[in-house]
Chains A and B, each alone.
Chain A
Amino acid sequence: MSSDAFLFWFLALVTVVSGLSVVLMTNPIYSALSLAMTMIGVSALFVTLNAYFLAGVQLIVYAGAVMVLFVMVLMLFDLKHELQAFTRGRITGAIKIASVGILSGLIVGAVTMGLKTATTLTESASAANAAVALKTNPDTTRALAENLFIKNIFGFEALGVLLLVIAVGTVALSRSKGGSHARD
């Protein structure tokens, strides 16, 4: 087994197991730590896909900032083990799990049904792309910046405005006294 195949299976195992434990842990702190492990696994998967800059951004933004936000709010609330972590009702729970299973089965079926055309397509495309990709491989960050700041500059600026609005809205929301539901 080649090294990148081993790496993929190892990382897939890590992300799926830690993603499963996000759902199944009853203590929210353990869920948050499992989610951080999932983020690190996804970042390593980005490295195997030659997206080095995105892997760094994933580590900094998700495993750094967002997870710190989650853990800080959990510490603020001081939540212990929940009495009722999952939804009540066995029948509705079974229906929910079955619907998730059917959805994932349909998508996996569709992906693997398209295996034949996809392999021929990706083989011809990857044979053509392999030379180009190998030549320009260390430069994906540069290509990313050129695409982001030339082709998608409007979306980038719109995201800046969105982040400003979100910052103001979050501060206003956390300072609000509760509106018509105020205690007194």
Chain B
Amino acid sequence: MPETNLITDIGLNHYLVLSVVLFSLGMAGVLLRRNLIVLLMCIELMLNAVNISFVAFSKFNGKIDGQVMVFFVMTIAAAEAAVGLALAVSIFKRFKEVNIRFFEHLKG
């Protein structure tokens, strides 16, 4: 097996590690931030990280199915952003702030 250079030979693992780093950033944002809109942005970040790994697998396996799955993920992400922002608007109309702690009033 020829020795592969980690810096110059870009393979599947590079894209997967980049995807993991972006996903972890998004997850840390969801856990740490309090603003609902920033939370939604971090969820979009996580979905994009998953998209990177889908497209990378699609290229390195030579199959197109991963890219079709990215289409579905994008549609679901757009729908989720629309519903989340509508919820944020309704929370803001009542409390004049979009902090996540107001969501405990949603029950009942």
Contacts and interface: CB of A to CB of B under 8 A. Distances in A.
The answer to whether A and B interact is yes
Contacts of B24: 100-101, 103-104
Contacts of B86: 169-170, 173-174
Interface string A129-162: 1001100000010011001100110010001001
Contacts of A140: 64, 67
Interface residues of B, number: 75
B94 A49 contact: no
A87 B39 CA distance: 12
B89 A39 contact: no
Contacts of B56: 49
A100 B28 contact: yes
B32 A125 contact: no
Contacts, number: 222
A12 B42 CA distance: 18
Interface residues of A, number: 91
Contact of A70 (B1, B41, B76, B87): B41
Given A51-B67, A178-B90, A66 B78 contact: yes
Interface in A7-59: 8-9, 12, 15-16, 19-20, 22-23, 28, 31-32, 35, 38-39, 42, 45-46, 49-51, 53-54, 57-58
Majority secondary structure, B binding face: helix
A148 B70 CA distance: 11
A162 B18 CA distance: 31
Contact of B48 (A38, A108, A125, A144): A38
Contact of B18 (A12, A143, A167): A12
Interface of B: 1, 4, 7-18, 20-29, 31-35, 37-38, 40-42, 44-45, 48, 51-52, 55-56, 58-62, 64-65, 67-68, 70-72, 74-79, 81-83, 85-90, 92-94, 98-99, 105, 108
Given A45-B18, A96-B32, A118-B12, 16 more contacts: A22-B41, A35-B44, A35-B45, A42-B48, A49-B15, A57-B74, A96-B28, A112-B13, A126-B60, A144-B64, A144-B68, A147-B65, A169-B83, A173-B87, A173-B90, A183-B94
Those 7 A-B pairs whose CB atoms lie nearest each other, nearest first: A104-B24, A129-B62, A23-B29, A173-B86, A96-B31, A166-B79, A170-B86
